[in-house]
């Protein structure tokens, strides 16, 4: 009998310590106004995977992402990103961030926007063309950003986040407003980037998208409800799909 073909190593079991994670937060407490947005969040995001950050509206996803990129004032705790404290100057070019409502210049064309941001980041001159193709915006290169559809506009912001080939991508709801074909294409792009070693943290409301992630972090009221693989999510809850599984977990708290 020939030996069985090599297979990928299995993902670490839930709760196993992760060596040298892309992101590690410890006891992260964030108060925004009178609200506790993150309530002592301790979590590790592994490298080289697509990690989904999921949870209901107001559960703290955006706040966590802001803490990771260093734009969120932290009340207590620490966040380490690629081995440095969040917000360190050396992380600026190593981390790409797609914020909710991320701004591009509406009075510049798509390509002009990308060239502008590439210059600021010191990205290679060939990068704008590359990210245009990756986000399927080649046909809109010369169009003013202000005249794009909502989904196209969102993809320009995503293209900006991809400039410079960052090691870590923080993408806050990148697939909002996109049709199913574009959503599928983007998740395929995320998987390709992860296979090249890029670490991705991707937030979503759409539980269905959990299935496209290597690992998922479920947030609820600023706390970590679960840290597991999509298969473990279904196994643990006995639910037929991610939506039902999440509702089951929420009901169990």
Ligand X SMILES: Nc1ncnc2c1ncn2[C@@H]1O[C@H](COP(=O)(O)OP(=O)(O)OP(=O)(O)O)[C@@H](O)[C@H]1O
In whole angstroms, how close is the CB of 74 to ligand X at the nearest point?
13
Residue 59 binding ligand X, by CB under 6 A: yes
Q: Is 35 in the site for ligand X (CB under 6 A)?
A: yes
Between 164 and 174, CB nearer to ligand X: 174
Is residue 175 involved in binding ligand X (CB under 6 A)?
no
Within 8 A by CB and 6+ apart from 227, the residues are 14, 15, 43, 215, 216, 217, 218
55 binds ligand X (CB under 6 A): yes
Residue 174 interacts with ligand X (CB under 6 A): yes or no? no
Residues 61-80 that bind ligand X (CB under 6 A): 61-63
Q: Give whichever of 59 and 229 is closer to ligand X, judged by the CB atom.
A: 59
Rounded CA gap, 81 and 64, in Å? 12
- For 60, the 3-state DSSP assignment is coil
In angstroms, the Cα distances linking 153 to 75, 114, 136 are 34, 12, 12
**33 lies in the site for ligand X, by CB under 6 A:** yes
The one segment of 18-26, 51-59, 174-182, 234-242 that binds ligand X by CB under 6 A: 51-59
Between CA 132 and CA 213 the distance in angstroms is: 24
Binding of residue 154 to ligand X (CB under 6 A): no
How many of the chain's residues bind ligand X (CB under 6 A)?
A: 13
The token pair at 73 is 């004032």
Q: Least distance (Å) from ligand X to the CB of residue 185?
A: 23
Q: Which stretch binds ligand X (CB under 6 A): 59-67, 118-126, 189-197, 243-251?
A: 59-67
The nearer residue to ligand X, 161 or 163, going by C-beta atoms, is 161
| Contact status: 60 vs ligand X (CB under 6 A) | yes
Q: How far is CA 111 from CA 139, 186, 198, in A?
A: 11, 19, 24
What sign does the dihedral 33-39-43-49 (CA atoms) show?
negative
Q: Residue 153 half-sphere exposure, CB side, CA atoms within 13 Å?
A: 19
Q: Return the structure tokens found at 28.
A: 């992260």
Q: Which residues bind ligand X (CB under 6 A)?
A: 32-33, 35, 37, 55, 57-63, 205
């Amino acid at each position: 009998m020939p030996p069985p073909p090599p297979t990928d190593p299995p993902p670490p079991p839930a709760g196993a310590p992760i060596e040298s994670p892309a992101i590690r937060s410890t006891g992260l407490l964030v108060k925004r106004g009178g609200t506790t947005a993150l309530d002592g969040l301790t979590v590790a995001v592994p490298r080289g995977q697509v990690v989904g950050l999921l949870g209901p509206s107001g559960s703290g996803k955006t706040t966590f992402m802001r803490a990771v990129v260093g734009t969120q004032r932290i009340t207590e705790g620490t966040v380490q990103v690629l081995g440095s404290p969040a917000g360190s100057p050396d992380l600026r070019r190593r981390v790409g961030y797609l914020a909710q409502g991320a701004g591009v210049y509406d009075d510049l064309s798509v390509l002009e926007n990308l060239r502008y941001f590439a210059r600021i980041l010191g990205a290679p001159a060939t990068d704008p063309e590359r990210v245009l193709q990756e986000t399927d915006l080649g046909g809109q290169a010369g169009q003013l950003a202000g005249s794009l559809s909502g989904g196209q506009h969102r993809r320009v912001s995503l293209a900006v986040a991809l400039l410079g080939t960052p090691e870590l991508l923080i993408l806050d709801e990148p697939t909002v407003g996109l049709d199913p074909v574009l959503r599928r294409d983007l998740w395929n792009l995320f998987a390709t980037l992860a296979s090249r070693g890029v670490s991705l943290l991707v937030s979503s409301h759409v539980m269905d998208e959990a299935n496209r992630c290597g690992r998922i972090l479920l947030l609820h009221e600023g706390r970590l409800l679960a840290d597991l693989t999509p298969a473990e999510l279904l196994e643990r809850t006995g639910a037929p799909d991610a939506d039902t599984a999440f509702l089951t977990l929420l009901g169990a708290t």
